[in-house]
A = this chain, B = another copy of it.
Amino acid sequence: MSALTKAKVQTPPLIAAARGEATPHTPVWIMRQAGRYLPEYRRVRSKTEFGALTRTPDLAAEVTLQPVRRFNLDAAILFSDIMVPVEGMGVDLTYAPGPVIAHPIRTLKDVAKLRPLVPERDVPYVLETVRMVRAELPPHVALIGFAGSPFTVLSYLVSGKPSKEFATARAFVQSEPEVTAALLDHLADSTAAYLRAQAEAGAQALMLFESWGGLLGRGDFARIALPSVQRLVSKLKDLDVPLIYFANNCWTVLDLIAGLDVQVVGLDWRGSLAQARTVLGKGKTVQGNLDPASLFAPPEVLKRRIDDVLADAGPGGGHIFNLGHGIWPETDPDAVARLVDHVHSRTEGRP
């Protein structure tokens, strides 16, 4: 076996696709694939509170691996929560079921109290989970680590609880630019350290969830959310690990996101991947973007919708198949099996 062939065999298809390289098929994974739609996940959760699960490596690793055992997925994603590093920074946090912050962060004094994250000290259980999962995964299945974007994490820290509109946080960032900047700087730096530690522990790709940046107007996204992502990303430049930026509901600012130094942009289901490619240009891999609702359609309709996404992504690679949003808890796992198999069989050997 030549060195080139060997390298190809050893690079998981998802990592190759992230780099824009040729792959044997379009790689596929599912946002929230380790989650409530799986009976084996619900069994674990019935005995363990969510926060405890994120802090218990053998359970978190088990839950991370469950969907990989069941489906022919191209990646596992660390089971955790975007607020886990915030606990490591000293924030008093509970899940009810979304994250609730005992003392919302609203002043420079509050920001100054946040500990800069030292991952091995503050969140060792996350890194241990990464190591355990990596040891168990077959070599063709990539392990994805992740974190929330600075603005997304700020939304929870300022609001104090989950919210449909995050009114408090959105009003805050327009009224308190100084506190906002200090908090985003802290989060960017600590999140960079957090992601680097995950990569060093064995994560082969790193995903940044911009879950709530799409609640900002274009001007505020450019002024507030984007610079903190740039700051974060610039600190990871030396890592040989692809970065995936999930641009949830960010279609009006995709042209700004195109300038980010990340290899992959994840898209929600609202637009087409063809539209995204037009704005993002040739240098980026796209990830997505089947409507989670399509998993409830009859099998033939589901296949057509998958084919539509593949057609929108176009030939020539640079596509990681995924849903456009997290899988819904009511989804039938058999539909996921059909999805994964159809993506693979449709794209096998395709240029």
Q: Footprint of B on A, CB under 8 Å?
A: 164-165, 167, 170-171, 173-175, 214, 216-220, 249, 251-252, 269-272, 275, 289, 291-294, 296-298, 301, 305, 308, 324, 328, 330
> Do A170 and B251 have beta carbons less than 8 Å apart?
no
Distance in Å: Cβ of A159 to nearest Cβ of chain B: 12
Report the Cα distance A66→B289, complex, angstroms. 45
Given A167-B330, A251-B251, A252-B271; A301-B218 close (CB under 8 Å):
no
Partner of A164, one of B164, B291, B293: B164
> Do B171 and A275 have beta carbons less than 8 Å apart?
no
> Do B301 and A174 have beta carbons less than 8 Å apart?
yes
With a cutoff of 8 Å between Cβ atoms, the chain B residues found around residue A298 in the complex are: 175
Report the Cα distance A339→B272, complex, angstroms. 37
Distance in Å: Cβ of A270 to nearest Cβ of chain B: 5
19 A-B residue pairings within 8 Å (CB atoms): A167-B330, A173-B293, A174-B294, A175-B297, A214-B270, A216-B270, A217-B289, A217-B324, A218-B271, A219-B272, A219-B305, A219-B308, A220-B291, A249-B249, A249-B270, A251-B252, A251-B270, A252-B272, A252-B275
Most B CB contacts (10 A, CB to CB) among A167, A216, A217, A289 go to A217
With a cutoff of 8 Å between Cβ atoms, the chain B residues found around residue A251 in the complex are: 251-252, 270-271
Residue of B nearest to A171 (CB): B296
Most B CB contacts (10 A, CB to CB) among A171, A216, A324, A328 go to A171
Given contacts A171-B296, A217-B270, list 17 more A-B pairs with CB under 8 A.
Answer: A171-B293, A174-B296, A174-B297, A174-B301, A175-B296, A214-B270, A216-B270, A217-B269, A217-B271, A217-B291, A218-B272, A218-B275, A220-B291, A251-B270, A251-B271, A252-B271, A252-B275
